[in-house]
A and B are shown apart, each in its own frame.
Chain A
Amino acid sequence: MTIVIDGRELQPPEPMERTLEALEKLGEGEDILLQLYCQPHPLFNILRNSGYAWTDNLLADGTREIRIRKSPG
C-alpha cells in the first residue's frame, strides 16, 4: 500500500508533520509518496538517521516525488 501525501498546497511544517506521522504507521512492504516543490533536507536527515530509504524524482512541472520505505535489512 502507498500512502500519498500531497504537500504542494500545505504550508510547512505540515508536510513534514504528516510524513512523520505516516512513518510511525508504515508497515513492511508499504511506502509513502510525498509530493513537494522542494527538497526537504531536514526530512532527509531524519530518514537517513532512522533507517529509511527514499528516491527523489523531479517532474517537469517542478513537483518532486519522494518515495519512502524502510531500508532493507
Chain B
Amino acid sequence: MHPNLSFEQAPPISVPYRFLLAAPWFGVLAGFLLAWVGGDVLESRWTPEVLALVHLIAVGFMLQAMSGAMFQFIPVAVGGNVWRPLLVANVVQPTLLVAAVLLVAGLLFSAPALLSAAVPLFLCGVGVFAVVVMLALWRTPATGMTLWTMRLALAGLVLTVLLGALLAETLARGLALPLIPLTNVHLAWGLGAWALMLVGAVSYFVVPMFQLTHPYPSWFARGFGPLLLLAVLIWSGFWLLDDKSLAQAAGLPLAVVCAAFGGTTLWLQYTRRRKIDDATSLNFRVAMIALLAFALSAASMAVWPQLADDPRAVVWLGMLVFPGVFVSTISGMTYKITPFLNWLHLQRLGAPISAVPNMKKMIPGDAMTGQFRLHLLALTLLLAAVWLPALARPAGLAFAASCAWLGANVIQALKNYHRFRDQIRASVLHH
C-alpha cells in the first residue's frame, strides 16, 4: 500500500479513452472509402471522394485523437486542471463525432444540408473544448515552451474551424467567396498552426522522455512555434491578397520550418542515449521522414511552380502529411498514452507499487510492432497509388486493416486495464 501517498484526482480514465477508442475507426472508414472508389480517385484534391477522405482523417482520426490526448496531456505535462473533464468530454466527443460524419457525408454526396448541419456542431464542440482547455493552459503555474506552443496550437485549431465553417457554408449556400485561396489558408492553419504545432509542443516533452533522446535545444524550442506561426501568417496573407506567385513562393518558409522540425527530431533520435526501437520510436521516425519528404516536395513546388501543374502533386503532399506524418505520430503517441494512462490509474488503487503491472504489459509489443509494419506497408501503397491508380484499392484495404489493428490494440489496452484493476482490487480486499 501507499499509506502516505495521495494521488490527485485526474480526469477519469474514460475521458481520454473515449476519444482514442473512436479515432482509428475513422481511418478504417477512409481506407474502405478509398478501396470502394478506387481507380483515378486520387487524380485531384477537389474530387468529392478526396475531400471526404481528407476530412475522415483530419476531423475524424486526428481531431478525436488529438483532443483526447490533450485531456490527458495537460495534467501530466503542464500540470493544468481541465474544468469538469467528464462533462466536457461527454459533450465534446459525441458532438465532434457526429459533426465529422455529417461533414464527410456532405462532402462525399455534395449535400448542402449536411454541410450546414455540421457547421454549428463543429463550432459548439470545438468552442467548448477550446475555452475549457485554454483556461487550463492559462491557469497552470507551469512555464516552458511546451505550454506556450500548446496555447498557439489551440488558437490554430480555433482559426482552422472558423475557416472550415466559412468554407462549408460557402459550398452549402453558394456564397461568392474565393474557394481556392480560402482552402489553402484553411489547410495551412489546420496542418501547420494546429496539428504540427501540437506535435511540436508534445514532442518537446515526450521525445526526450519516451525515446530517451537529449532535450530539444532551447533555441529550437523557443523558435519553432513562433516561426511556424509566422510562416502560416505569410502564406495566408499572400493567398488572401490573391497574389498567386507570391503565395506559391510563401510555401518555401513553411517547408523550411517543417524540415527543421523533422530534421531536429531525427537528429535527436539518431544521437539518443539508449537505442530503443519500439513502436513509438519507429512511428516517429517514419513521421519525421515523411515530414522531410513533404518539405522537400513543397519547397520544390515553391521554387519550380510548374511541378505543381499536375493536380496529383498536391495529392502527393496530402498523402505524405495525413497518413505519413500525422497518422504515424498519433499511432506512436497512442502506444505510450494508453499504457501510461492504465499505469497511472492502477497506481491510484492503493496496491503496492510492485503489484502494478509494468507499462509493457498493457499492449503486447508484437501487436504494436506488427501494426506499425502494416501501417508502413499501407503508407507505401498510398504514396504509390497517387501515381499508379491500380494501387488505390489495395492501398485503401491495407490502410483500413492497419487502422483496425490500431483500434483493436486500444481496445486491448482498455480490457487489460479492467483486468488488472479487478485483480488489484481483489488483492487489496484480501489483505
**Which residues does A use to contact B, with CB under 8 Å?**
8-9, 11-13, 17, 20-21, 23-24, 37-39, 41-42, 44-46, 48-51, 62
Contact = CB atoms under 8 A, between A and B. Distances in A.
Contacts of A50: 4-6
B238 interface: no
Given A9-B212, A12-B359, A13-B340, A41 B273 contact: no
Nearest to A36: B209
Nearest to B356: A17
B276 interface: yes
Interface of B: 2, 4-8, 10, 75-79, 142, 144, 205, 208-210, 212, 214-215, 218, 273-274, 276, 340, 343-344, 347, 353, 359
Contacts of B340: 12-13
Given A62-B214, A62-B215, A51 B273 contact: no
What are the 5 tightest A-B residue pairs by CB atom distance, in nearest-first order?
A45-B8, A62-B215, A49-B6, A41-B79, A37-B208
Contacts of A51: 4
Contact of B4 (A13, A23, A42, A45): A23
A38 B357 CA distance: 24
Contact of B353 (A11, A17, A41, A42): A17
A9 B273 contact: yes
A73 to B, nearest CB: 15
B144 A42 contact: no
B76 A23 contact: no
A9 B215 CA distance: 12
A20 to B, nearest CB: 5
Contacts of A44: 79
A62 B78 CA distance: 17
A21 B78 contact: no
B353 A12 contact: no
Contacts of B205: 38
Nearest to A17: B353
Contact of B273 (A8, A12, A13, A23): A8
A20 B340 CA distance: 16
Given A20-B5, A46-B6, A39 B144 contact: yes
Contact of A41 (B6, B142, B274, B276): B142
Contacts of A12: 209-210, 340, 359
A40 B269 CA distance: 22
A44 B353 CA distance: 17
Contacts of B218: 62
Contacts of A37: 208-209, 214-215
Contacts of B142: 39, 41
Contacts of A46: 5-8
Contacts of A41: 75-79, 142
A17 to B, nearest CB: 6
